[in-house]
Chain A
């Protein structure tokens, strides 16, 4: 079905789109069709879409997200975490839409510099459609198993955001954008979906940058809001829960006067500060307990080993047709086959996943390992030094090193205090100010080696790290 869709010549796709558009117009005029459609959702109860938006959901690139696990192989540790990018994307659209309504409500705008950038009613209608579609499509470029293997298995310069942009601009999607009401520009959707960091050479205006923040921002992006709630729900943990209703209702566009400029940014009323603190702490705990769980992380490593051996050229294809054909289903099938075939080149890698023969953690760095004793190059990642030495001792194949660079724990944003002044969030929130970053710097070894590796670690760590 997918292949057939892709092989259709462009003129046929255009003709089908035009036919659908005319049919919908006719049925609308005759008032014969339902205009709003609802999805039941465990997090947001109901998510509504218009008929023309449903065409995006029904498109092949979006339907593919039904087969991309939101949390890769996390379900091997938290069995409930089998949810997919499909429902997450719907959730992000719903939240982005709610946030847009709050921050563009004229009663919530207090500064002339903000009034200047918020468009008139017609403009708002256009940008609301754009932000909904950008939120819906922000994950279209994800590889099988989401982030698990992205960095190492794509050619240099590629990431899932770049693939997302390519899909949004593809002919199939462009045929939908141009026949929506109002018609949308693919570049506007792309800019908001992936943000300034990934859409060069296109540049974002201040308004577009704020809308993009609404979707993917570090502080209160709808993406983050949804994944915390949804991942907690499915993983069966309570860490990601916070009062998102309160948070959304207190979001505002505010000038960053504490940076000595009037440039507007997405910020918050003082009354919502506790909700944002709760979001940041929720994020901290769910990262520690779920996303960076050591066994979950080692499954990512085993998956990468498998894919590197299985994929032609050891990398995912960046050709859109090939990309859209590949989902978790194809990879899981290959893992099952290889684990049952002793002669397969991928047999041992597949067994580590399929038969739970995963590696075990035997070293994770502590602050004292970094700062103690003599400082030397590379000392900031003690795990790397231990991992390199362990490879020499036990052999490369039996050791795996894992590093995760900390992301901003609590981003800075403007807060409108009770007296109407604007302050930096980091200035007025002790909690945000002290929020620790999370780093992973760990070494794993083959299951059969754990006791020896721990003994070796205890004997050799002071020498390797130059500790006193």
Chain B
């Protein structure tokens, strides 16, 4: 599968950042990583980021490098608003211009980004770690029942308890169903 051109990938990421922020997300790197993972899974997209289980769940080193390149090109900036928290990522004025020029390219991803922003916007990293890892496990072992996927989740993340893990798997199952509808409409 050919990867989308970088200008379109940038536009998709900018769109995701804007929608997450509009829903009140802190929008640190962890938030963008988890949201982009779900976006890529739902849309079976050609974003082409390789995700592995790493920092707080699914993590893509390619996406990390892409965000760095976007920062170096002054498309996004890191801001520090509150004591005790990490940086928050937001588009610059140039990023906004770039988004406007390329936004017609992002097509179906826009609807999915909206769906993810509604889901993730107000959530903290602890929640995102739980559901994004549950999503990772559910994609990999989709035929397994809730209890066995929850077991897998707590093996990977021992600090999550079994009840919370089962709840996360159920949420993910429900969201995956909703996502299918959204993707069908968007396509």
Contact = CB atoms under 8 A, between A and B. Distances in A.
A433 B71 contact: no
A370 B102 CA distance: 15
Contacts of A113: 159
Interface stretch (A325-333, A353-361, A422-430): A422-430
A54 B165 CA distance: 46
B86 A437 contact: no
B73 A378 contact: no
A258 B101 contact: no
Select the residue from B78, B86, B97 with max chain A CB neighbours within 10 A.
B86
Contacts of B53: 196, 203-204
B93 to A, nearest CB: 10
B182 to A, nearest CB: 27
Interface in B62-97: 64-65, 68-69, 71-75, 78, 80, 83-87, 94, 97
B5 A259 contact: no
A412 B64 CA distance: 12
Contacts of B97: 375
A187 to B, nearest CB: 15
Contacts of A181: none
B141 to A, nearest CB: 12
Interface footprint category on B: 35 or more
Contact of B61 (A197, A376, A412, A436): A197
Contacts of B80: 426-427, 433
Interface in A247-269: 257-263, 265
Contacts of A408: 64-65, 68
A258 B64 contact: no
B44 interface: no
A260 B156 contact: no
A367 interface: yes
A198 to B, nearest CB: 9
A123 interface: no
Contact of A262 (B74, B101, B159): B159
Contacts of A376: 101
A259 B125 contact: yes
A203 B156 contact: yes
Contacts of A438: 72
B129 interface: yes
Contacts of B59: 196
Contacts of A439: 69, 72-73
Given A259-B30, A260-B125, A262-B159, A424 B86 contact: yes
A377 B102 contact: yes
A380 interface: yes
A423 B85 CA distance: 7
Contacts of A421: 84
B5 A263 contact: no
Nearest to A199: B52
A375 B105 CA distance: 15
Contacts of B52: 196-197, 200, 203
A412 B87 CA distance: 9
B30 to A, nearest CB: 6
Contacts of A343: none
Interface residues of A, number: 39
Given A407-B68, A437-B71, A437-B72, A371 B86 contact: no
Contacts of A427: 80, 83, 85-87
B21 interface: no
A433 B83 CA distance: 15
A405 B65 contact: yes
Interface in A117-148: none
B146 interface: no
A420 interface: no
Contacts of B83: 423, 427
Interface string B119-156: 00000111001000000000000000000000000001
A24 interface: no
A133 to B, nearest CB: 22
A419 B85 CA distance: 16
A450 interface: no
Nearest to A374: B101
A197 B129 CA distance: 18
A406 interface: yes
A424 B69 contact: no
A261 B84 CA distance: 12
A357 B53 CA distance: 47
Nearest to B29: A412
A431 interface: no
A259 B28 contact: yes
A60 interface: no
Nearest to A197: B61
B56 A426 contact: no
Interface of B: 5-7, 10, 28-30, 50, 52-56, 59, 61, 64-65, 68-69, 71-75, 78, 80, 83-87, 94, 97-98, 101-102, 124-126, 129, 156, 159
Give the 9 A-B CB pairs with smallest separation, nearest first: A437-B72, A406-B72, A424-B86, A196-B54, A197-B61, A260-B124, A375-B101, A408-B68, A260-B125
15 contacts: A258-B86, A259-B30, A262-B159, A263-B56, A371-B74, A371-B94, A377-B7, A378-B7, A380-B75, A407-B68, A409-B68, A412-B87, A426-B86, A426-B87, A439-B73
Given A261-B126, A409-B72, 17 more contacts: A196-B53, A203-B53, A204-B53, A260-B85, A260-B126, A263-B55, A265-B55, A375-B98, A380-B6, A406-B68, A408-B65, A412-B87, A424-B86, A427-B80, A427-B86, A437-B71, A439-B72
